[in-house]
Structure 1
Amino acid sequence: MEIHVEAPVTATEEPERVVEAIRTVFPDASLTVSDDRVTGEAQTLDTLRELLAQFQILDTARMLLHRRIDDGRLCFRLNKQAAYAGTVNFSEVGHPLGDITVTITGGDLPGLVDWLTETDGEKE
């Protein structure tokens, strides 16, 4: 499984803050900073899973993420400002400052979504 993350850096933003926003959700990500974008690869989704449970948005996340599986990949956007503040907020429309785009390829994507969003009652 490959986990690619990227986010734009606008003229009014400090790249370090964009990096921090991404690392809030993907602390193990190997990131590259350019003038207008931060890109990288993450190794795990453990922190995202923990945040989804912490903020009790498992049902919403499950519905949204299953809808976002297409052509062997799962692609979704997270609000960059919310991530910087330590929360998870999915973006459907897009934010003027840009979002964190996450693209996951490989493996059992429906099973991955179920794992990310399983409730305590579903865990073995």
Structure 2
Amino acid sequence: MIHRVDVRVVAPVRDTEVTDRVADAIRNLFPTAEIREEPGQLVGETHSMERFAERLHDQEILDTARKRFFAEATEDGFGFALKKQAALEGVINFAVGNPDELGDIEVQVTVHDPDVETFVDHVAPPTEDGRPIRPDE
């Protein structure tokens, strides 16, 4: 199945941070993102969450991801926040509550095709006994 999505990743860059390291944090989870610098932040745009999905599987946090995605879901997409320091290490750590002092990476996913629930099932499939299950299997 072909998925059509727009992923926008926004990461604040504090005066104490090296811009390239913030860009690395974005690229570690979204390697195809085209990143541009704006005042006080970096903005990445991509059409793929494949690397992100791989990390969710590797870290075995599919259920957590599904909860975060559906907590912010609309009919057009979903959003979530990530800890910047963890992303720099290539690790997904969802940010909840108060933002980190360096600021969180904000991700907004707009799903054009097929629909939000189907795309979430693709990125973070439901699990049974901790193992991913595909609805079409």
TM-score w.r.t. the length of structure 1 is 0.92
Alignment of 1:23-38 (within 5 A): 23-38=27-42
Give distance in 1, aligned partners of 2:25 and 2:18: 11
Mapped contact 2:25–2:88 kept (Cα < 8 A): yes
Structure 2 counterpart of 1:67: 71
Change beyond 3 A, Cα 1:53–1:36: same
Alignment of 1:1-124 (within 5 A): 1-70=5-74, 72-93=76-97, 94-107=99-112, 108-118=115-125, 119=127, 121-123=132-134, 124=137
Letter of the aligned partner of 2:56 in structure 1?
Answer: L
Please identify the structure whose Cα radius of gyration is greater: 2
Percent identity over the alignment is 35
Q: CA deviation at 1:70?
A: 2.6
Q: CA deviation at 1:35?
A: 4.4
Give distance in 1, aligned partners of 2:120 and 2:109: 11
Structure 2, unaligned runs of 5 or more: none
Between the two proteins, the alignment pairs up a number of residues equal to: 124
Letter of the aligned partner of 1:116 in structure 2?
Answer: V
Give distance in 1, aligned partners of 2:123 and 2:44: 21
Task: List structure 1 runs of 4+ shifted beyond 3 angstroms.
Answer: none
Give distance in 2, aligned partners of 1:121 and 1:13: 37
TM-score w.r.t. the length of structure 2 is 0.83
Change beyond 3 A, Cα 1:14–1:121: closer
- TM-superposition CA deviations, 1:86-109 (whole Å, max 9, x none): 100001122111111111113311
Structure 1, unaligned runs of 5 or more: none
Give distance in 2, aligned partners of 1:48 and 1:121: 16
